[in-house]
């Protein structure tokens, strides 16, 4: 594997008495697409929030693009702003145009010149199929369009990795495909992606690896072929029959 973009080494995390991440070790290489799945409450969101340095950990080590996230002297805000995060509930700024949503962080946080940020934003909006919506406001877009804007906004940071937390779960079924299509094209372009999703068709087609979590642990970390065609863990069999 090439240099790891994300590396968790024996990470443990508690919420009060609840051991929510149990001895989690995971390495994600440049250009890899890793799908994280598992039952509700198994710790998937906690894991990717942890990767994005939004959650403290009790012990273990987390490296993000080579930086020790919890090391002394690490600027957590800067680190968080360098990672793309796409949420279930798009989380667009409702009072800003689509273009301003996409340029906000590059201009305000990364201090890039406006003209440069806007040029990149227009390029990214074209990439997600929304070039003509640059001046619209989020409230006038469908859920699928809003989520595609959210993906463009994440890409505008030019991050080393994009984390997706159930990006299609809040969408009407007819809009799921357009968002998955955009995610597929990012994967083809070589983007490093960590995707929590129940879209098993996407997982099989696009995932390089499937990580299955149960009760705070990584139960398996394997190829889509092995995961789907020879699930050898009763919990996975049950999960697969539930999501189908
Ligand atoms: P998943 O995304 O797989 O559904 P989560 O990571 O959201 O799971 O949650 C894992 C467990 O941690 C669940 O039991 C959940 O109730 C609990 N949990 C999540 N966030 C918090 C929190 N901020 N405080 C306390 N418990 C939490
Ligand atoms: Mg979750």
89-147: pLDDT as tens digits: 999 999 999 999 999 999 998 999 999 999 999 999 999 999 999 999 999 999 999 99
d(CA 179, CA 167): 8
133 CB near ligand 1 (under 6 Å):
no
Q: What ipTM, to 2 d.p.?
A: 0.98
Q: Which residue has the tokens 């299509």?
A: 181
- 6-56 confidence digits (pLDDT tens): 999 999 999 999 999 999 999 999 999 999 999 999 999 999 999 998 888
45 CB near ligand 1 (under 6 Å):
yes
With beta carbons less than 8 A apart as the criterion, state whether 25 and 11 touch. Answer: yes
Residue 77 CA to ligand 1 centre (angstroms): 23
Residue with CA nearest ligand 1 atom 18: 15
């Amino acid at each position: 594997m090439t240099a790891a973009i994300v590396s968790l080494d024996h990470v443990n995390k508690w919420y009060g008495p609840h051991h929510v991440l149990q001895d989690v070790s995971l390495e994600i290489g440049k250009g890899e697409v890793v799908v994280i799945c598992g039952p509700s409450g198994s710790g998937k969101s906690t894991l990717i929030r942890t990767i994005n340095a939004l959650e403290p950990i009790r012990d273990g080590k987390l490296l993000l693009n080579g930086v020790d996230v919890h090391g002394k002297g690490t600027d957590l805000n800067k680190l968080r702003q360098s990672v793309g995060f796409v949420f279930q509930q798009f989380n667009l700024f409702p009072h800003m145009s689509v273009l301003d949503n996409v340029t906000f962080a590059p201009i305000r946080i990364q201090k890039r010149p406006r003209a440069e940020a806007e040029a990149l934003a227009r390029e990214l909006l074209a990439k997600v199929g929304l070039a003509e919506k640059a001046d619209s406001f989020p409230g006038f877009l469908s859920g699928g369009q809003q989520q595609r804007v959210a993906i463009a906004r994440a890409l505008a940071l030019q991050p080393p990795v994009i984390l997706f937390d159930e990006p299609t779960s809040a969408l009407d079924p007819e809009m799921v495909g357009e968002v998955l299509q955009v995610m597929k094209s990012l994967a083809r372009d070589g983007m490093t992606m960590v995707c929590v999703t129940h879209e098993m068709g996407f997982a099989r087609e696009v995932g390089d690896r499937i990580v299955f979590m149960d009760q705070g642990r990584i139960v398996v970390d394997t190829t889509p072929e092995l995961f789907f065609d020879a699930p050898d863990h009763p919990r996975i069999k049950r999960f697969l029959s539930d999501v189908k």
